[in-house]
Structure 1
Amino acid sequence: MPEINSRILGGGLVPVVVLGASLLGGCGGAGETITRLTVGSAGPDPYTLMSNTDRQRIERSPARGGTKDGSTPGLYGGTRQAASCDPAKLIAFLRANPAKAKAWAKVHRIGAGDIPGFVGRLTPVLLRTDTLVTNHGFKAGKPTRLPAVLQAGIGVLVNEYGVPVVKCNCGNPLTQPDKKISTGKAKYKGSSWPGFDKRGVTKIQVKATVRSFVLVDPDATMGFERPVATTGGADGPPQALPEELSPSPDPSDSGSADPSAPPTDSGTPGIPTDGPGTQPPVTPQPSGGGEVPPTPEGEQVPENTPTGQVGPT
């Protein structure tokens, strides 16, 4: 309830309403709740389910946290001459589901008929940092939205600015996070993962258009270029990694963090803490490439919908 005080103005008592801090929503994003989505989890309200789009084991970028330009070399990863996300399958699925296509297109402010051209300009990559996005789902015939942090290793499609616009294992459209959200002050829910640290959550911003993304292979042994709107076949030759792109020890992983630093909100790995769609990924079966199928949750894919393995394993 608001606190009511009385002040003397001109010889009379005038009630003054003083709003408590809890009612001043949006103060630095402190009141926001961010849902953690793990590798292999489709998350809440998926549009569809697609397998083998994520990577369980990936060397994370040494430069993480804060705000990064989508064009930053080494921000994203991938397997050279192979893509774990197939844009053509997403186009076919949306074409077969007009209601979902209409809602999907609305998120990106395009018409349903523009989906093939829009998706055709996207590029499949793997996240190398835990990344903050706005995740848009579909439930009971209506679109949903929530702030989410995607674990490094999740496959996404990025636009020509390097901004994630599709979560590959569920087809959900993604948009940039609300600028008011503070990753350090917000609350987190959902299963955590080893090495999660709210200080390491990265926001992606638009800087300039990209002709080729400089990607890093999952084990961080080499770099290579992937032209925009290609799915691996046009990847450039292997390149040695510059020192700034080479993996470095992570204090949050080794337990050697500075004891004077703020406490890490790491959660309890593998234990769901709240809400559907935030369960840990299922234990991957040997597939030859380390990719992980999505957790079978939420909406099932309609019969005859193109799904299954997306890209080479």
Structure 2
Amino acid sequence: MTLRAFMHRIAVLAIFSLLLSGCEKGNPLTVVRAVAAGAPSLAPFFEENSGLGRDATTTVRSQPVQGSLQQGDTPGLYGGSKQPTICDVAKLERFLTDPRNHKKAQAWAGVLNIGTDGIPEYLDRLTPVLLRHDTLVKNHDYKREKSVPYNSLLQAGISILVDEQGLPAVKCSCGNPLRPFQGDTGRISVQFEDGTKKWAGYQRESVVAVKPAPRKLARIALVDVQEPARGINRPVGSTGEKDTTFNAKKRRTVPDLAGTTFARAGRELIDAGLAAGYTGQGVPSDGAKVTATDPPAGARLPFGQYVMLTVAGGGTSTSGGETGPTTTPPPPSSGAKTPPTSAPPTSGPPGSSGGRPGKASSPPPSSSSGRPGGSSSPPSSGTAPGSPSPGKSNGPPSPPPSTGSPPTGAPVTSSAPPPAPPTTTSAPATREPPSSGPATTEPATAEPVTSAPLTDGPSTTVAA
């Protein structure tokens, strides 16, 4: 090869590299630090050996996902075990309220947008779970009396606390506060460093990020990480002492979703104990119309299985990034939305959402006006009043209809109305020391909110 030909090739490669770098500037890769189960944090808020919590003692393989962004109430998103005391929430509260840890408490509370005086009430609304997927989060170390954020991939099997909308909130073993991942889930660069080796079974397509459920949850339906046929209903704000079980292998029927919106379809699948799946990295917009499902309506699947949704129209929103779950609640995706409501529903006494008596009356930091996915408001009844008929009129022309059309993110069918508001029972009991194992015969009235017998399957009821 002549020198001129060699230099020409170098120039072509340089130009090609510049073009590629120019394309990347608008949407660069997000660097993510891998965190393995059982691995100690380098700069934790609290020492790993302080007894705040522990990860699963056996390897938990990350489960396949069909869509890298899932709601916090997706059936089977999280796991549990017969030994539910994976997080000592009472000890974490004592540490954070100890005057000797005031600096840490200030930094910790600042990440979660609460004051230090609100820490006990906030912790009372958290629920311990085990990750069943390698999960993207914004993690926080503690350095020089300040919280230091960094994007993190937590391995399946790590124990965390989740809030009332199913969002990761605290890493149990070290007390590090967690926030939703802010990048594009399709454009990440996972770095296995600081002693963390690529774990067995790691697969890029099994990585998931979590966005908040549209409504507060009364309980979270888990899958036992050692016995997948065993489902666990865990009331929000409890640590496992009030668990009830269900048969996770019992078949659920795929509902007829053709013609509904993507948001409505996801809601109906969750209510049926199934998960909404989609192809590609772009999440369909809430108002996109569902044209088909795989498997089709009428098929029967075990708890937490994915139903792939095919949609037409409505566009897509990028996973993560500006349209993803960057805050709680997240910014709305594309399309018109129901006007936000700043006040929570008022039906039922304070504390009916599963929190502590006398404390759940104040809204959690994660609740606000925005609503991702399905809306809790009832669907529109049809065409707006006053709309002209398509036929010929004998009288003067009717005035044009109002421009306020139903929001595209709201359901448009009436064949499957949203579930009736749950009834409330007596205020839930305070958090008691966990027993040696979960209960399996607890009556439904012992739960914060119920809508069906727990022995028939998981409850996905949300608090009113």
User: Same fold per TM (> 0.5)?
Assistant: yes
Q: Contact 1:81 / 1:233 at 8 angstroms: preserved in 2?
A: no
Please give the per-residue CA displacement for 1:214-239, whole angstroms capped at 9, x wherever unaligned: 11112213102001000111111342
Which of these residues, 198, 218, 230, is aligned with residue 225 of structure 2? 218
Q: Secondary structure at the match of 2:217?
A: coil
For residues 25 and 136 of structure 2, the distance between their equivalents in structure 1, rounded to whole angstroms, comes to 17
Paired amino acid for 2:189: A
Paired amino acid for 2:75: P
Alignment RMSD: 2.7
Is 217-226 or 100-109 further displaced after alignment?
217-226
1:119: which partner in 2? 123
For residues 82 and 66 of structure 2, the distance between their equivalents in structure 1, rounded to whole angstroms, comes to 23
Paired amino acid for 2:70: K
Structure with more contact order per residue of length (Cα contacts < 8 Å, sep ≥ 6):
1
Q: Contact 2:63 / 2:206 at 8 angstroms: preserved in 1?
A: no
Flag the 1:24–1:142 CA change in 2: closer, same or farther, 3 A. Answer: farther
| Shift of residue 20, structure 1, vs aligned partner | 6.9
1:186: which partner in 2? 189
Q: TM-score, normalised by structure 2?
A: 0.46
Larger radius of gyration: 2
Which of these residues, 66, 77, 80, is aligned with residue 79 of structure 2? 77
Q: Contact 2:107 / 2:146 at 8 angstroms: preserved in 1?
A: yes
Residue 38, structure 1, aligned to residue 69, structure 2: no
1:27: which partner in 2? 26
Query: Quick check: which one's strand share is greater?
Result: 1
Q: Contact 1:74 / 1:216 at 8 angstroms: preserved in 2?
A: yes
Which of these residues, 85, 105, 112, is aligned with residue 108 of structure 1? 112
Is 127-136 or 51-60 further displaced after alignment?
51-60
Please give the per-residue CA displacement for 1:250-286, whole angstroms capped at 9, x wherever unaligned: xxxxxxxxxxxxxxxxxxxxxxxxxxxxxxxxxxxxx
Q: Secondary structure at the match of 2:178?
A: strand
For residues 435 and 38 of structure 2, the distance between their equivalents in structure 1, rounded to whole angstroms, comes to 15
The count of aligned residue pairs is: 232
Which of these residues, 200, 203, 207, is aligned with residue 197 of structure 1? 203
| Shift of residue 206, structure 1, vs aligned partner | 1.2
Could you list the runs of 5+ residues in structure 1 that have no partner in the other structure? 1-18, 249-309
| Shift of residue 245, structure 1, vs aligned partner | 4.3
| Shift of residue 188, structure 1, vs aligned partner | 2.5
| Shift of residue 43, structure 1, vs aligned partner | 2.2
Q: Contact 2:32 / 2:188 at 8 angstroms: preserved in 1?
A: no
Alignment of 1:280-299 (within 5 A): none
Which of these residues, 239, 253, 256, is aligned with residue 247 of structure 2? 239
| Shift of residue 141, structure 1, vs aligned partner | 1.4
Q: Secondary structure at the match of 2:130?
A: strand
| Shift of residue 93, structure 1, vs aligned partner | 1.0
For residues 312 and 28 of structure 1, the distance between their equivalents in structure 2, rounded to whole angstroms, comes to 49
Q: Could you tell me the percent identity over the aligned residues?
A: 35
| Shift of residue 21, structure 1, vs aligned partner | 5.8
Paired amino acid for 1:120: D
Is 79-88 or 209-218 further displaced after alignment?
79-88
| Shift of residue 146, structure 1, vs aligned partner | 0.4
2:146: which partner in 1? 142
Residue 54, structure 1, aligned to residue 55, structure 2: yes
Please give the per-residue CA displacement for 1:56-112, whole angstroms capped at 9, x wherever unaligned: 323543436511110011111112462211111111111121000000000011101
Could you list the runs of 5+ residues in structure 2 that have no partner in the other structure? 1-17, 251-300, 307-433, 438-464
For residues 26 and 109 of structure 1, the distance between their equivalents in structure 2, rounded to whole angstroms, comes to 31
Which of these residues, 27, 43, 63, is aligned with residue 65 of structure 2? 63
Flag the 1:81–1:233 CA change in 2: closer, same or farther, 3 A. Answer: farther
Q: Contact 2:222 / 2:232 at 8 angstroms: preserved in 1?
A: yes
Please give the per-residue CA displacement for 1:149-170, whole angstroms capped at 9, x wherever unaligned: 0000000000001010000011
Paired amino acid for 1:43: S
Which of these residues, 202, 206, 212, is aligned with residue 212 of structure 2? 206
Q: TM-score, normalised by structure 1?
A: 0.67
Which of these residues, 134, 137, 147, is aligned with residue 133 of structure 1? 137
Please give the per-residue CA displacement for 1:33-52, whole angstroms capped at 9, x wherever unaligned: 10000001232320112445
1:277: which partner in 2? none
Is 155-164 or 75-84 further displaced after alignment?
75-84
Q: Contact 1:127 / 1:154 at 8 angstroms: preserved in 2?
A: yes
For residues 28 and 244 of structure 1, the distance between their equivalents in structure 2, rounded to whole angstroms, comes to 38
Q: Contact 1:61 / 1:245 at 8 angstroms: preserved in 2?
A: no
